[in-house]
Copies of this chain bind each other. A is one copy, B any other.
Amino acid sequence: MNLENTQVQMRKGVLEFCILSIIARGEVYASDMLEELTNAKIMVVEGTLYPLLTRLRKAGLVDYKWVESISGPPRKYYTLTDKGNQFLQGLRSTWNELVTSTNTIVNHV
């Protein structure tokens, strides 16, 4: 049990929330997401992101379309479905409740 491992654990679940939030703002492809997550210091690697995107699509939360790139292979651009939008709203509540609950515990006098 080390700190790094716990950091990984803490991020689980939150990742899904972040990715759906990013897609909600406009069409993006995987590298866009990776860049934004990295900028926010939420470290994710391809091996995590791609399977997660596949899961989200199978769950009907996101959709994608192939778009030719002017410099490189085609990309999958993702968008949120109606269902994904509803789900995201639920996640916002869940996240806020988690933060509140956790702060209640750890700041308890």
> Chain A residues in contact with chain B, CB under 8 A?
1, 3, 6-14, 16-18, 21-22, 25, 36-37, 40-42, 55-56, 58-59, 61, 87, 90-92, 94-95, 97-99, 101-102, 104-106, 108
Q: Which of B8, B16, B99 contacts A13 (CB 8 A)?
A: B8
**Do the beta carbons of A94 and B7 come within 8 Å of each other?**
yes
| Shortest distance between the CB of A1 and any CB in chain B (Å) | 4
Complex CA gap A22/B105 in Å reads 7
Complex CA gap A40/B106 in Å reads 10
Q: Which chain B residue shows the least CB distance to A99?
A: B99
**Do the beta carbons of A21 and B105 come within 8 Å of each other?**
yes
Complex CA gap A105/B105 in Å reads 25
B-chain residues with CB within 8 Å of residue A90 when the two chains form the complex: 3
**Do the beta carbons of B13 and A6 come within 8 Å of each other?**
yes
Q: Which chain B residue shows the least CB distance to A3?
A: B90
